[in-house]
Amino acid sequence: MKTAYIFPGQGAQFVGMGQDVYNLNEQTKVLFVKANDILGFNITDIMFSGTEEDLKQTRVTQPAIFLHSVILAKALGDDFKPAMVAGHSLGEFSALVSAGALSFEDGLRLVAKRANAMQSATEIQAGTMAAILGLEDQVVEDICQSIDEVVVAANYNCPGQLVISGSVQGVDLACEKLIAAGAKRALKLNVGGAFHSPLMEAAKQELQEAIQQVNIQAPICPIYQNFDAKPYQEPSTIKENLINQLTGPVRWTQTVENMLAAGAENFVEVGPGSVLQGLVKKVNRQIPTASATI
């Protein structure tokens, strides 16, 4: 059976996440302890017993989800046999490490740098995001392009659900126009910045050098990358797509469609939550989905 392994992004976190993986055996515990040393703070304390507010900080959330996902994948051992992998935004880094393209240490350092760069970019220029429900992608794209502010389609999550991102004024104007055009809802998200939009350019520049210098090897299976939803195994192309990811869209709908077209017979979500399984079902309700279990 061709199994597609998928890795969640920011928003999947919850207090207590990863504790079952930590307690599994000495090998998993060692990786969490190593992560505390690399990050320079005890992320395990925040993950296992911190407050929701602490866990929501970007500098904590992103490495926390990465650690939960990657260490869980490692704990699966020989049961982890992906025909293909993909991750939603941050989850792309988890997918790369789990598929052997990046080392655990390099992956965590990149994720930490990415989180800090994104946080800094939001302080340079305020921005926001909004989920648009019930409109065709093309309609959302056209309306965003008609607005004389920074606002773009950022997350193609599933048919009929597209997240837009940009300046506060741009997103507000777009929401008004999209409701008038027939959107069922235009829901402003509780996020700190305009992720996956041109307003992340400062973060992209900061992360670019680190990505270019890191050692990426060919993964054990194709990784479908957010930037264009296509499968890759060539390290230089994977790097280029990773660099473009911060200012480019997350094409998740297209990723799932392309994985299905490539023969994916079931999807296993590795990490906290089950959001991605729900999005897969919106693309094809017949396809089996599950959470990775140990």
Q: Which residues contact 41 (CB under 8 A, 6 or more apart)?
A: none
Token pair, residue 65, equals: 């989800």
- CA 204 – CA 250 distance, rounded (Å): 15
Exactly one of 98, 167, 196, 197 is catalytic; name it: 196
* Annotated catalytic residue, options 89, 98, 165, 197: 89
- Whether 88 is catalytic: no
Q: Return d(Cα 103, Cα 113) in angstroms, integer.
A: 15
Query: 149 and 197 in contact (C-beta within 8 Å)?
Result: no
Residue 272: count other Cβ atoms within 10 Å of its Cβ: 21
Q: Which has the closest alpha carbon to 92: 203, 265, 240?
A: 240
At 259, the amino acid letter reads M
The dihedral over CA atoms of 113, 114, 115, 118, expressed in degrees to the nearest 10, equals: 120
Do you know the residue count of the chain?
A: 294
Strands 128-133 and 185-188: antiparallel
Known active-site residue 89: yes
Supply the residues annotated as catalytic.
Answer: 89, 196
